């Protein structure tokens, strides 16, 4: 290919290398220069143009890209018409992308003029999704280079294909131990159903059995008998050894454990087994969460009917440390002992009390004290320190109600936008040495220091308890204790919805702490609620 600047009069038949704009003239890059273009260039007083011209034996960029892509494409892949030296490849069906990395590497090594890029290997894709592209960098390449590229692609054909989803029927078994709430299992089933849906699979059989080898073995046989093509077991306790309940149950029904453990975090404690030709997954705890983790990587391959040998799992280590995992231990100079953990408290007291119909509820008195003062005093009486009070509406009056209390006051000028802004202001004021924070509401006067101390005592990040929520008869309440690891998420809360969605998002890191009484559920939002709480407190 000839490349370079030539006089305009000699440019006919060449391809414009750069876009040219001058006055009324617009000549786009890649335009084949003909008599009309030459006339327009001369009229614009342009003397020369940088162009590319094919020589004998050259192949144009579009032809070369199209021919290489056509040979590279396999089952479930279609190739779009090449344009500007690029031929894009798309999934024709939903499934898992399978690539021949060594062949693609060999193709890309042939010459810098030929490039072939794909999505990550084994990525789940939907019909119509772009999965790869062939790009010819210059405007043309030598025919011999095109032939060499096609030969490499043909020898390994296909370079890319879609393995369509084949498994449609899934059995799910949950083992149960005392303390595992039924709603945890229900949520796990919902999350699992959502995971399976893109593959066109569904849960066709479900069992809940004691965390016992014999009971689990029978459940595995039952769900397979009901037509399950793949079995997922969610253990009430994580698998700790190949002799633990789940692997023992696999062997008890005549199956085999293919591999235990995985160099992907989260997802380390995954077990892959086979029972009667059907795959069985012992799910790691992170599989209860909808966030992508190592479990997804293995599950989707199995749903596509692909084998997942031991070396496929052990080969996932590079790239297997997934980012932004709140449950991952954070670096410290040295571990903090339980008794030395430092927990701050935030009292949110910036709201406008709109449901009270006018007066600021935080200034309403019970037993001669404003609600906001009661909340602050109880936080101060607890083991939390420091206590931060976020003000907003009627700042001066709320601060006057706190007179004499050793609290740190933070004002949220944007209090009208909702609780999110106040939460952000409070988190920003938590000292750097704090390990976590208890977020209290200023309108919950029945929350006392003892309840706050219970939350602090239940906070155990080394054992996965990164957030603590009080629960009354199965209903979650306030206040909530959050580890510092959630601070970035809390700073992103917007509007007036609070941080409840984070409990669902990070359910594997949340501990529900049962409490007696209704204090964790009762806030003063209306005049009727105020009268009821006042009667309870003043009647003691």
Same domain, 137 and 91: yes
Nearest to 149 by CA among 112, 101, 97: 112
Q: Contact 452/479 with Cβ under 8 angstroms?
A: yes
CATH of the domain at 530: 3.90.550.10
Average pLDDT over residues 190-210: 96
131 with 203, same domain: the answer is no
Q: Are residues 382 and 407 in the same domain?
A: yes
More confident residue, 354 or 254: 254
Which neighbouring-strand residues pair with 27? 20
Same domain membership, residue 487 and residue 359? yes
**pLDDT for residue 238:** 85
Q: Average pLDDT, stretch 450-477?
A: 90
pLDDT at 237: 87
- Same-domain status, 199 and 142: no
- Global confidence as pTM: 0.67
Is 524 contained in some domain?
Answer: yes
Is 323 a domain residue? no
Q: Look at residue 271 and tell me if it is in a domain.
A: yes
What is the spatial distance between Cα 443 and Cα 516, in angstroms, rounded to a whole number? 19
Of 164, 188, 214, the residue that ends a domain is 164
Does 427 reside within a domain?
A: yes
Q: How do residues 274-331 score in pLDDT, each as one tens digit?
A: 999 999 999 998 898 888 889 999 999 999 999 999 999 999 999 998 865 565 555 5
Domain span at residue 225 reads 169-314
Task: Indicate whether 17 pLDDT > 70.
Answer: yes
- Mean pLDDT across 204-229: 97
**Strands 467-472 and 480-483, how do they pair?**
antiparallel
Q: Are residues 513 and 364 in the same domain?
A: yes
Q: What is the pLDDT of residue 506?
A: 80
Same domain for 490 and 352: yes
Indicate if 432 and 354 belong to the same structural domain: yes
Beta strand extents in 61-157 (DSSP E only): 77-79, 86-91, 95-99, 114-118, 124-125, 130-136, 140-142
Q: What are the tokens at 445?
A: 């006067």
What is the average per-residue pLDDT within 232-254? 95
CB 171 within 8 A of CB 189: no
Q: Does residue 126 carry a pLDDT above 50?
A: yes
CATH of the domain at 153: 3.90.1170.30
Looking at 264, 280, 314, which one is the last position of a domain?
314
SS3 8: helix
Confidence of residue 431 (pLDDT cuts 50, 70, 90): very high
* pLDDT the model gives residue 82: 93
Give the pLDDT score at 27. Answer: 84
Looking at the structure, do residues 32 and 66 belong to the same domain, yes or no?
Answer: no
pLDDT digit string (tens) for 471-524?
A: 998 899 999 999 998 998 888 888 766 777 788 778 778 889 999 899 999 988
pLDDT at 437 over 90: yes
Q: What is the pLDDT of residues 388-397, one digit of tens each?
A: 999 999 999 9
The helix (H) or strand (E) run that includes residue 181 is: none
**DSSP alpha helix (H) spans, 293-388:** 294-303, 310-314, 371-381
User: What is the count of structural domains for the chain?
Assistant: 4
Task: Tally the residues of the chain.
Answer: 540
User: Are 155 and 173 contained in the same domain?
Assistant: no
Alpha-carbon gap, residue 72 to 66, rounded angstroms = 10
pLDDT of residue 376: 96
Say what the pLDDT of residue 333 is.
Answer: 43
Task: Evaluate whether residue 94 is within a structural domain.
Answer: yes
Residues 350 and 428 in one domain: yes
Q: Decide if pLDDT at 408 tops 80.
A: yes
Q: Residue 536: its pLDDT value, please?
A: 84
Q: What is the mean pLDDT of the chain?
A: 90
Q: How confident is the model at residue 178 (pLDDT cuts 50, 70, 90)?
A: confident
Q: Which helix (H) or strand (E) holds 205?
A: strand 202-210
State mean pLDDT over 219-233: 98
The CATH number that applies at residue 307 is: 3.40.980.10
For a pLDDT cut of 90, what percent of the chain falls above it?
Answer: 64
Which are the contacts of 147, defined by CB distance < 8 A and separation ≥ 6? none
Q: Phi and psi dihedrals of 377, rounded to 5? A: -65, -40
The residue behind tokens 């060999």 is: 106
CA distance 206 to 40: 74
Query: What percent helix, strand, coil does the chain show, rounded to 5?
Result: 35, 30, 40
With respect to residue 320, please indicate whether it lies within any of the assigned structural domains: no
Comparing 171 with 28, which gets the higher pLDDT?
171
Q: What is the DSSP code string of 369-430?
A: EEHHHHHHHHHHHSS--SEEEEEBTBHHHHHHHTTT---EEEE-TTGGG-HHHHHHHHHHTS
Instruction: Find the range with the poorest average confidence among 181-185, 339-343, 355-359, 484-488.
Output: 355-359
The mean per-residue pLDDT over the stretch 259-265 comes to: 94
CATH of the domain at 49: 3.90.105.10
Domain membership flag for residue 7 = yes
Q: Which of 9-18, 182-191, 361-370 has the lowest mean pLDDT?
A: 9-18
- Confidence class for position 465, pLDDT limits 50, 70, 90: confident
Q: Give the pLDDT band (50/70/90) at residue 425.
A: very high
Residue 162 pairs in a beta bridge with 97
Predicted pLDDT at 528: 87
Q: Which two tokens stand for residue 467?
A: 């957030």
Buried b (16+ CB within 10 A) or exposed e, 234-268: bbbeebeeeebbbbbbbbebebebbbbbbbbbbbb
Give the per-residue pLDDT at 253: 97
In a domain, 326, yes or no: no
Instruction: Please compute the mean of the pLDDT values over residues 84-99 and round it to a whole number.
Output: 96
Percent share of the chain, pLDDT over 70: 96
364 and 401 co-located in one domain: yes
Which of 129, 147, 164 terminates a domain? The answer is 164
């Amino acid at each position: 290919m000839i490349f370079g600047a030539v006089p305009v009069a000699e440019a006919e038949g060449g391809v414009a290398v750069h876009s040219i704009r001058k006055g009324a003239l617009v000549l786009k890059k890649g335009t084949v220069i003909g008599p009309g273009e030459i006339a327009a260039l001369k009229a614009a007083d342009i003397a020369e143009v940088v162009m590319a011209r094919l020589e004998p034996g050259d192949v144009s960029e579009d032809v070369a890209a199209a021919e290489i892509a056509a040979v590279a494409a396999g089952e479930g892949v279609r190739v779009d018409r090449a344009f500007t030296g690029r031929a894009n490849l798309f999934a024709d069906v939903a499934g898992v992308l399978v690539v021949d990395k060594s062949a693609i590497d060999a193709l890309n090594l042939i010459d810098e003029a030929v490039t072939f890029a794909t999505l990550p290997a084994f990525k789940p894709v939907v019909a119509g999704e772009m999965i790869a592209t062939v790009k010819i960098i210059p405007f043309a390449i030598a025919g011999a280079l095109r032939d060499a590229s096609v030969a490499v692609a043909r020898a390994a054909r296909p370079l890319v294909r879609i393995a369509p989803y084949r498994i449609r029927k899934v059995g799910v078994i949950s083992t149960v131990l005392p303390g595992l709430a039924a709603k945890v299992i229900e949520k796990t089933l919902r999350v699992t159903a959502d995971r399976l849906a893109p593959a066109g699979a569904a849960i066709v059989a479900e069992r809940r059995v004691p965390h016992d080898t014999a009971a689990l073995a029978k459940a595995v046989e039952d769900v397979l008998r009901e037509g399950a093509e793949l079995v997922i077991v969610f253990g009430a306790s994580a698998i700790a050894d190949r002799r633990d309940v789940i692997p023992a149950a696999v062997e008890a029904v005549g199956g085999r454990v293919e591999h235990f453990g995985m160099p992907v975090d989260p997802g380390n404690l995954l077990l892959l087994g086979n029972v009667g030709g059907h795959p069985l997954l012992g799910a790691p705890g992170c599989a209860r969460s909808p966030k992508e983790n190592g479990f997804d990587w293995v599950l989707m391959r199995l749903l596509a009917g692909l084998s997942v040998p031991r070396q496929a799992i052990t080969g996932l280590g590079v790239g297997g440390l997934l980012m932004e995992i709140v449950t991952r231990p954070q670096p410290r100079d040295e571990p903090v002992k339980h008794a030395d953990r430092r927990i701050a408290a935030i009292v949110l007291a910036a709201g406008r009390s709109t449901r009270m119909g006018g007066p600021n509820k935080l200034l309403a008195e019970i037993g001669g004290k404003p609600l906001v003062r009661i909340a602050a005093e109880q936080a101060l009486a607890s083991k939390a320190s420091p206590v931060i009070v976020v003000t907003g509406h009627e700042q001066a009056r709320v601060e006057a109600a706190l007179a004499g209390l050793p609290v740190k006051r933070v004002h949220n000028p944007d209090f009208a936008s909702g609780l999110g802004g106040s939460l952000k202001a409070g988190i920003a004021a938590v000292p750097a040495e704090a390990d976590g924070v208890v977020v209290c509401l200023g309108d919950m006067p029945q929350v006392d220091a003892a309840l706050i101390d219970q939350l602090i005592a239940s906070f155990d990040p080394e054992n996965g308890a990164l957030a603590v929520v009080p629960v009354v008869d199965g209903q979650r309440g306030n206040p909530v204790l959050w580890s510092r690891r959630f601070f970035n998420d809390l700073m992103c809360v917007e509007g007036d919805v609070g941080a409840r969605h984070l409990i669902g998002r990070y359910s594997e890191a949340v501990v529900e702490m049962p409490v007696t009484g209704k204090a964790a559920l009762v806030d003063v939002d209306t005049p009727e609620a105020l009268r009821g709480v006042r009667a309870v407190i003043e009647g003691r």
